[in-house]
Amino acid sequence: MNKIDNLDIKFFEEFPFLMDIFISSFNRLEDSISLNFKNLETYITSFTAKNPDWEIKENTTDFSPFFLKYEKSKYLQKLENTFSFERFITIKEKNNIPNPKSLYVVFGFWYEENIEENKPFLYTGIYRDNAKNDSAILPFDFYENLELGSYKKVINHPFKNDNRESIEFFSFKFDEGEISQISQFFLKEVMQPYFDKLAKLTKL
């Protein structure tokens, strides 16, 4: 068992000040993410209104300031150095459609120790699981050719024998302009062609 040391004592002495910064900063981040997510949400709502075979199944916020893990017994919990705030919306073909597809869009913040060089990041993505045995919505080349400055991207696609069709963009900056830029790019360059193709496939 680890014992309390001088750094721990200093932390608890400064706890009110640190918590004030923590809460203030994340409230502002939440406001900015939610404001920019609203554009994505509005677009998806419009899509389901125009395409009645699809419906919104979930539209929620997930805030996990620290993950808990169990050690040795179910009564002993330890905090893990993982932190996330995510807005996401899931849509699904209605149950009367044979083999209904589902997908979800996420916009959020993530930090995890030993991931991305221990740097927190913003990310947005669109995901469709169980895609390996189904036709892709968009070809792999479409995703591969998408670029947004120095943003990192991750692609999963049946073309690569993945079971998921998805693309994510990551940003390591947190100013308002950056958050707005990544959401606008994602809406125009990814979501609009994706949902246009989805509507065409639905009507076949």
Any domain includes 3? no
Any domain includes 195? yes
For residues 79-83, average pLDDT: 80
Any domain includes 9? no
pLDDT of 76: 56
- % pLDDT > 70, the chain: 90
Range of the domain at 151: 35-202
C-alpha of 77 from chain center: 26
pLDDT of 134: 66
pLDDT class of 165 with cuts at 50, 70, 90: very high
| Residue 199 CB-density burial (10 A; 0-12 exposed, 13-18 middle, 19+ buried) | middle
> With 70 as the cut, is the pLDDT of residue 68 above it?
no
Any domain includes 137? yes
Counting DSSP H helices and E strands in the chain, the numbers are 5, 8
For residues 88-115, average pLDDT: 86
For residues 3-23, average pLDDT: 93
Any domain includes 15? no
Q: How many domains does one find in the chain?
A: 1
Any domain includes 177? yes
Any domain includes 196? yes
Any domain includes 101? yes
Q: What is the full DSSP assignment across 54-116?
A: EEEEEEEEEEESSEEEEESEEEEEEEESEEEEEEEEEEEE-TTSSS--EEEEEEEEEEETTSG
pLDDT of 203: 63
Note the pTM of the prediction, 2 decimals: 0.85
Report the C-alpha gap between 167 and 41 in whole angstroms: 18
